[in-house]
Structure 1
């Protein structure tokens, strides 16, 4: 028998001179490499890496295996699902790339398009990532933190100041922060915060709480330049619904302390409301009232109530004070708005103007020499009436608070007006006289008196002084006499022309 002759080795197999020949490599063509089976196998490996928790059945549903695809809608849904799955796979790769081996990692979970391995029907096994009830690193689990104290010979001593113990305890204490402050701790995250980081986060949380409270306070309880808060709007709606006002048309003017709106009047029971009304809404912000309490806290009509009210209710007292002053002025015939209704910090008055157009301020109106002279004498007469008959001092009288309507002057804005016996009443009167005198002198009125002459003409006091400093010194002396009399007798006095106090 002839010995078997070994078949010649293929040319691609090289013989190894030091050992056994290597295994033969099975040749494959390019067609087999690009075959659909190999592509599916690679795709399956990628899916297992991206979605390790997805079962085979769920994957078949995702891919659409064994599903009827004759419907265009179903085919479109399958294509969209495939696109979303590829998008989530890309997110997963980016997430792994960014996180690396870091213990504190970021998650793109909120940006995922589909969640094939989550069951929305069952909520027993669902755990919020911020829920730390089952967190193994909570301090109430003694097994997670090393025991403190001496553990035996040759072992380290663990105290309450241990870095790991403090870090985990600080992480758990972050649960006591404000609900709006996202702490970012969750299950499976062994997050440890140093004392310095924890204290900075705590201080930041308190700062955010105070800032949020300030924003809420300003939004809910304050008025802006041409807007009102929700409570003020409710009061205005009630006035319209009750028939007191037919409509509220818009803002007329804004000031430091109030906003004035125009409205069409209705009826108040048997009393007819003017056809056109002005609604004065006192701003409920306290910034402009901090330096103006001297006008009301020393006014004996409101002094007892002023000390018992909180700052926000004092603003309502301003509206009440203007109502009383306007009523007192109207009784003696001074041209001023008539009061219709007072509701908290909203004062409804008659409108000085016509056809929704407010009367111009004396500062802005252009008058002839004769009309300006007539306006000066009207202002002088009104100041005398206000002082002698109403027993009031305007305390903020100027060309900005005098309107020119129907050929005469109208006084407005009397919320700060006080009585002459006020501790600073005569000083306020002298300031009003200076504003009025300077305005009409600049307007070219030849008969306009100086501020000292006008002060004596209005108050009937014969104060003789060569300069303004001595004049003010005598005014302060009179006010001091009045205050001393109040402290001794408990009642105020009236100023007589001989500069001596006279009992009421």
Structure 2
């Protein structure tokens, strides 16, 4: 009977009898450290190596802290799970809403109501929780949070003054790189829409102006520099053997740049001797001062016809051609001046006035004794008379800056603006030259220096009556004489071609651009 009872209680299977399973231990034993240590010892004794180091010996737990109720342990674990779930839900809510004006609350999906922060340990702080971050307040914020700030309060929109101010500062880097926009904390800068739009328009205007100036600089000469076309012409002269080498810039003026070079030879014209030292006068192709210079050439009967048919940029070449013909007249009258060697477009090659790469000083800079200064005055007076009477020219820009002192005598340079006395403003230009010369020598203490009226009559030979206290009357008389010359200008206009032949050849035709 006993065996039958045992047989009935023991479960059977197709492979034999089954050993009954041990009853499950209570949850308190599962969570206890003693049970864990016991299981670990059994594993070691059974031949299975332990994957974790043995736990250190812990002091026996206090009887008051032990909990034997499985329900209480389960509730504690569930509470901890609910809190972790709420923390994750709160992060998802923050990530989902972002900076939107209208936010969606996940409050109804939370497991713990209300959320209790006091139950969490102070030592255990989630690394994603930045509510208690001490550096959080110091981080720069581009703009304040938009949307409703609370019940009964105003709404913050994108048109808010503070929001727009900070947003405008952030946009400054797009069109004004390097502009200090602040850090959001100590330098919390803001720009109003009016100031931002003004700065933006100004930056765009400056960029367009800079582009125009850059393009203009590429196609024109500037101070102590030349454009690509001018450099190409200079290199062609060196390759052709006209110049041995170009040494550098001597001086710059309002209308030209002068370079020093070593002369070579002209294979096309072997009879022309190129001096050992020459200068290249490059006329600037900029038109900034052209309106002030056109009065010297548009009424000159020698170039009036061609002046009306050329564009403003090609007229610069006409200036170089005009100086060539004026120097040819002066050289024919044996006036000390540079000798023209070659003309290429707006580059004029002339003989060098100086020695050993050192240019002759200007009359303004040279220091002369009283006798030499007196001698210089009479030389200048004689040169002005020669130009007016023999060359039929008025310098029109004569001063101590355009007179060189070399080998004990005065040399005249820069005659591109020189005109004939029959020019509509020829006598006015002569009067201005006389004023400059008379004023300079009087300041240098030359007692023999004439007044401007006496010097004008001595050069022109017109014997215009004058009163030193009434300059207006003298100028009026000059204007009357200029009007009388208009008929003479018309007559000379018909003989312009013949005069050109006498001066050194037919008028040059405007050549094409390279």
TM-score by length of 2: 0.57
Provide, for residues 273-319 of structure 1, a one-character-per-residue CA deviation record: whole Å limited to 9, x for no partner. 00100111111111132211111111111111112211111111111
Q: How does 1:300-379 map to 2 (within 5 A)?
A: 300-379=301-380
- Cα distance between partner residues in 1 of 2:28 and 2:224: 96
Shift in Å at residue 439 of structure 1? Answer: 1.1
- Cα distance between partner residues in 2 of 1:22 and 1:440: 113
Q: Which residue of 2 aligns with 1:244?
A: 242
Provide, for residues 62-88 of structure 1, a one-character-per-residue CA deviation record: whole Å limited to 9, x for no partner. xxxxxxxxxxxxxxxxxxxxxxxxxxx
Q: How does 1:19-98 map to 2 (within 5 A)?
A: none
Q: Which residue of 2 aligns with 1:479?
A: 482
CA RMSD across the alignment: 3.6
Instruction: Please tell me whether the aligned partners of residues 240 and 247 of structure 1 are also in contact (alpha carbons under 8 angstroms).
Output: yes
3-state SS of 1:437 partner: helix
Between stretches 370-379 and 354-363, larger displacement belongs to 370-379
- Cα distance between partner residues in 1 of 2:202 and 2:366: 55
Q: 1:369 to 1:203 in 2, by over 3 A?
A: closer
- Cα distance between partner residues in 1 of 2:208 and 2:459: 52
3-state SS of 2:262 partner: strand
Shift in Å at residue 364 of structure 1? Answer: 0.8
- Cα distance between partner residues in 1 of 2:210 and 2:369: 56
Larger Rg: 2
- Cα distance between partner residues in 2 of 1:318 and 1:6: 116
After superposing on structure 2, the runs of 4+ consecutive aligned residues of structure 1 that deviate more than 6 Å are: 1-4, 18-24, 202-206
Structure 1 unaligned runs (5+)?
A: 25-97, 100-180, 182-198, 494-504
Instruction: Please tell me whether the aligned partners of residues 321 and 415 of structure 1 are also in contact (alpha carbons under 8 angstroms).
Output: yes
3-state SS of 2:28 partner: coil
Between stretches 459-468 and 329-338, larger displacement belongs to 459-468
Instruction: Please tell me whether the aligned partners of residues 403 and 413 of structure 2 are also in contact (alpha carbons under 8 angstroms).
Output: yes
- Cα distance between partner residues in 2 of 1:353 and 1:458: 28
- Cα distance between partner residues in 2 of 1:223 and 1:359: 25
Q: Which residue of 2 aligns with 1:273?
A: 274
- Cα distance between partner residues in 1 of 2:373 and 2:289: 33
Q: 1:212 to 1:236 in 2, by over 3 A?
A: same
3-state SS of 1:248 partner: strand
Q: Which residue of 2 aligns with 1:288?
A: 289
- Cα distance between partner residues in 2 of 1:7 and 1:471: 134
Provide, for residues 409-463 of structure 1, a one-character-per-residue CA deviation record: whole Å limited to 9, x for no partner. 0000001100000000000000101111111122222221111111111111011
Q: Which residue of 1 aligns with 2:26?
A: 8
3-state SS of 1:397 partner: coil
Q: 1:343 to 1:490 in 2, by over 3 A?
A: closer
Instruction: Please tell me whether the aligned partners of residues 301 and 493 of structure 2 are also in contact (alpha carbons under 8 angstroms).
Output: no
Q: Which residue of 1 aligns with 2:46?
A: none
- Cα distance between partner residues in 1 of 2:442 and 2:292: 30
Q: 1:354 to 1:242 in 2, by over 3 A?
A: same
Shift in Å at residue 206 of structure 1? Answer: 8.7
Please say if 1:423 is aligned against 2:421.
no
3-state SS of 2:248 partner: strand
TM-score by length of 1: 0.58
Provide, for residues 25-75 of structure 1, a one-character-per-residue CA deviation record: whole Å limited to 9, x for no partner. xxxxxxxxxxxxxxxxxxxxxxxxxxxxxxxxxxxxxxxxxxxxxxxxxxx
Q: Which residue of 2 aligns with 1:395?
A: 396
Provide, for residues 150-178 of structure 1, a one-character-per-residue CA deviation record: whole Å limited to 9, x for no partner. xxxxxxxxxxxxxxxxxxxxxxxxxxxxx
- Cα distance between partner residues in 2 of 1:246 and 1:227: 20
Q: 1:203 to 1:432 in 2, by over 3 A?
A: same
- Count of matched residue pairs: 326
Q: 1:7 to 1:330 in 2, by over 3 A?
A: same
- Cα distance between partner residues in 2 of 1:434 and 1:492: 33
Instruction: Please tell me whether the aligned partners of residues 486 and 492 of structure 1 are also in contact (alpha carbons under 8 angstroms).
Output: no
Q: Which residue of 2 aligns with 1:432?
A: 433
Instruction: Please tell me whether the aligned partners of residues 16 and 22 of structure 1 are also in contact (alpha carbons under 8 angstroms).
Output: no
Shift in Å at residue 482 of structure 1? Answer: 2.5
- Cα distance between partner residues in 2 of 1:485 and 1:239: 42
3-state SS of 2:224 partner: coil
- Cα distance between partner residues in 2 of 1:322 and 1:483: 24
Please say if 1:235 is aligned against 2:236.
no
Structure 2 unaligned runs (5+)?
A: 1-5, 10-19, 33-66, 79-140, 143-174, 176-196, 496-514
Shift in Å at residue 234 of structure 1? Answer: 0.9
Instruction: Please tell me whether the aligned partners of residues 422 and 489 of structure 2 are also in contact (alpha carbons under 8 angstroms).
Output: no
The correspondence for 2:473, drawn from 470, 473, 483, is 470
Instruction: Please tell me whether the aligned partners of residues 422 and 488 of structure 2 are also in contact (alpha carbons under 8 angstroms).
Output: no
- Cα distance between partner residues in 2 of 1:251 and 1:18: 100
- Cα distance between partner residues in 2 of 1:486 and 1:339: 28
